[in-house]
Amino acid sequence: MRDTLVLNASFEPLSTVTLNRAVVLVLQDKAVVEQAHPGLRVRAAAVDIPVPRVIRLCRYVRVPFRRQAPWSRRGVLIRDQHRCAYCGRRASTVDHVVPRAQGGQDTWLNTVASCAEDNHRKAARTPEQAGMPLLRKPFIPTPADAMLLALGAGERHALPDWLPQTA
């Protein structure tokens, strides 16, 4: 569920993110809560913050005027947060859902992060042929989505070249 609105430092709306991701951005001091659900708090170990409805990034980020982020292997790993689409463990490779041998292309919707083991096991088969269902559907990230994912992951160094850097 993507239920928290993210504003740029300039207050311009950028995108929406899940509550989890919004909380991570706030806890990492990358964003501040602009508007919270009245009376609701997120409480864990050392954490106690209002449940954000709207957060605002602390630093202005430049988002290129593009509808869609160009595909790259690195971008797929960041989109999927380095989680294998088949088993959920840490992923370091990119798998073609419809294998290239069967005409699958290098596109956002046809590629997922995968652990080396599952990538090898699936080989040149579709998830159906291999009996390996996808845990989640691949999606096409907007440049703002991709940037927010990278920010939340605390992997600024891992930003793909095509992503804007924070000013």
Q: Which residues bind Zn ion (CB under 5 A)?
A: 84, 86-87, 115, 118
- When the beta carbons of 76 and 84 are compared against Zn ion, the nearer one is 84
CA-to-CA separations, 60 to 11, 45, 55, 66, in angstroms, rounded = 9, 30, 13, 18
CA atoms within 13 A on the CB side of 77: 16
In angstroms, give the least distance from the CB of 133 to Zn ion: 12
Q: First vs last Cα of the chain: how many Å apart? A: 29
**Residue 167 has which token pair?**
């000013």
- When the beta carbons of 80 and 118 are compared against Zn ion, the nearer one is 118
- When the beta carbons of 78 and 113 are compared against Zn ion, the nearer one is 113
- When the beta carbons of 63 and 115 are compared against Zn ion, the nearer one is 115
Q: Is there a contact between 17 and 138 (Cβ–Cβ < 8 Å)?
A: no
Report d(CA 10, CA 42) in Å as an integer.
26
In angstroms, give the least distance from the CB of 99 to Zn ion: 16
H-run or E-run covering 116: helix 116-122
In angstroms, give the least distance from the CB of 140 to Zn ion: 22
Q: Is there a contact between 28 and 57 (Cβ–Cβ < 8 Å)?
A: no
- When the beta carbons of 118 and 145 are compared against Zn ion, the nearer one is 118
In angstroms, give the least distance from the CB of 87 to Zn ion: 3
> Phi and psi at residue 52, in whole multiples of 5°?
-75, 135
In angstroms, give the least distance from the CB of 154 to Zn ion: 23
